[in-house]
Structure 1
Amino acid sequence: MDLLQRVENALDTIRPYLEADGGNVSVEEITSDNIVRLRLLGSCGSCPMSIMTLKAGIEQAIKRSVPEIEAVEAVNLTDIDDPEAVVPERLK
């Protein structure tokens, strides 16, 4: 099983919880240095708690199932041009 499929399988274990709150996640890429870049979808893309969800939930689930993954990043948490992005300036 390839790396992407293993990451997707790990995400499938937590997707029901994300979907219950109107959200989801998609894999944008896995870099050559084993960093998973995700896009938070639906309510996850605009939720103030998404940074915690990413680190405490999503990243831990992936690393537990796919130990060679070094880190997990959300592309839309740092994309200031995205009006749905969760960035510190908008967490008021």
Structure 2
Amino acid sequence: MSSMDKERFESVIEEIREGLRKEGGDLEVVDIREGIVYVRLTGQCESCMMAGLTMKNWVEKRLLDAFDEIKEVRAV
């Protein structure tokens, strides 16, 4: 990602994190390799029954919609 894309990426991640924090959770970006973003849900999100849906329907969707170069988001 270019520096401008990195700034936009950080902005989108912060939007996601703010939403998760409202529910007592958070998100950590662990790595980005070959179009795959590796993330870890933390806080209340770790043990939440909805974590899988949150990851797929919100975190991944938001990142895929915002960045053409991202192919997938994986939880670690």
Structure having the larger proportion of residues in strand: 2
The answer to whether structure 1 residue 10 and structure 2 residue 3 are counterparts is no
Q: Which has the larger radius of gyration?
A: 1
With normalisation by structure 1, the TM-score equals 0.72
TM-score after normalising by structure 2: 0.85
What number of residue pairs does the alignment pair up?
74
How many Å separate the matches in 2 of 1:5 and 1:53?
Answer: 23
Give the share of equivalent positions with the same residue, in percent: 35
CA shift at 1:13, angstroms?
1.7
User: What are the within-5 Å matches in structure 2 for residues 34-73 of structure 1?
Assistant: 34-73=35-74
What's the counterpart of residue 25 of structure 1? 27
Give the unaligned 5+ runs of structure 1.
Answer: 76-92
Tell me: CA distance 1:29–1:4, structure 2 relative to 1, closer, same or farther (3 Å). Answer: farther
Give CA deviations for 1:61-90 in whole Å, capped at 9, x if unaligned. 111111210000110xxxxxxxxxxxxxxx
Unaligned 5+ segments in structure 2 are none
Moved over 2 A (4+): 1-8
Q: Distance in 2 between matches of 1:34 and 1:56?
A: 18
C-alpha separation in 2, matches of 1:30 and 1:2: 16
3-state SS in 2 of match to 1:38 = strand
Q: State the Cα RMSD in Å.
A: 1.5
